[in-house]
Amino acid sequence: MDGSERAGTVRFRSLYLFAAALLALLATHEWIAGHFAGSPRLLAALTVFVAVFVQATPFLIVGILLSASIATFVSPRILQRILPRQRHAAVGAAGMAGLALPGCECGSVPVARRLIDQGAPSAVALTFMLSAPAINPVVLVSTAVAFTGYPEMVAARFAGSLATALIVGWVWMAIAKPHWMRDASSEIAPGCSHGDPRGGRAQTFTAAARHDLIQAGAFLALGAAIAAVLRVFVPDQVYDHIAGNLLIGVLVMAVLAVLLALCSEADAFVAASLTMMPLMPRLVFLVVGPAVDVKLIAMQAGTFGKGFAGRFAPLTFLIAVICGCAAGLVFLGANA
């Protein structure tokens, strides 16, 4: 066993231990809550954490299974064949393809790499990379469930995310230089190994689903924990100040989306739990998260090169914030 295999084994063992500890926490949370009866804040934080995690998990699992199916049974060559030859139209078609071909953020990066290797323009591949995790049906349904009573959030998220993918694609088509993106390498981007295709489709599907479930579950747990802390322990005066300054609220939630690196099938439940924040900043959180976060930046640097990530991530962040705000103004109103 070489060094990379040993590192992968240790990483997966650590993730399995984390998953087991998390399941134990969920199974015993009522018993734990009994011991926190004398501390209302800790009890409230535990309640928020469990509620967010339990609500989001079914959508996370469905999204991962669909994503693994796409990764296993749909070749990037098929997507390339159905795209228009004209580059600007191909960007538009790649953006809309995210509706029919759902994918997780992790899986979308190597798919974009394979599309480029098969001759697709980089702008087209990157547009699909941004749209697939952001506008697929699982994400939209989970957003509707999380924001019950606010159906406009679904339309706003769809419009903001689709606009982000399309505008980034068209801008990248106009400004990108060939040397900005590294040629295909035998190296695998960190965190995105979905199994050896020589092992058969069943093995590829299992490896993809297992990897994404454990990784996304870990980030969901982190996001739920941070949401619980923000909901319970941060003084109300802080949120009153943020609510009074929409620009600060938008920037805070945009940065939080980058740092939390949540799976797009589950992030709506974290955003919905932050009821002390206005709707507009929470919408920006949902638009920015699937487009750019610390996990994606690392994967893009490993797949396309550090120079690419250093240019693409700031561009995507800026456009996602602008598109999120624009969608909020259109669908939620100026006072959201």
Predicted confidence (pLDDT) per residue in 141-179, tens digit: 999 999 999 999 999 999 999 999 999 999 999 999 988
Asked whether the predicted pLDDT for residue 45 surpasses 90, the reply is: no
pLDDT of residue 93: 93
Predicted confidence (pLDDT) per residue in 100-138, tens digit: 877 777 778 888 887 888 788 999 999 999 999 999 999
pLDDT of residue 16: 64
Count of residues making up the chain: 336
pTM: 0.81
pLDDT of residue 34: 67
Q: pLDDT above 70 covers what percent of the chain?
A: 80
pLDDT of residue 242: 82
Asked whether the predicted pLDDT for residue 331 surpasses 80, the reply is: yes
Q: How far apart are CA 49 and CA 29, in angstroms?
A: 10
pLDDT of residue 156: 98
pLDDT of residue 14: 55
Predicted confidence (pLDDT) per residue in 61-87, tens digit: 877 787 777 777 767 677 777 788 888
Q: How far apart are CA 164 and CA 260, in angstroms?
A: 20
pLDDT of residue 82: 77
Domain limits, the chain: 3-331
Average pLDDT over residues 297-312: 92
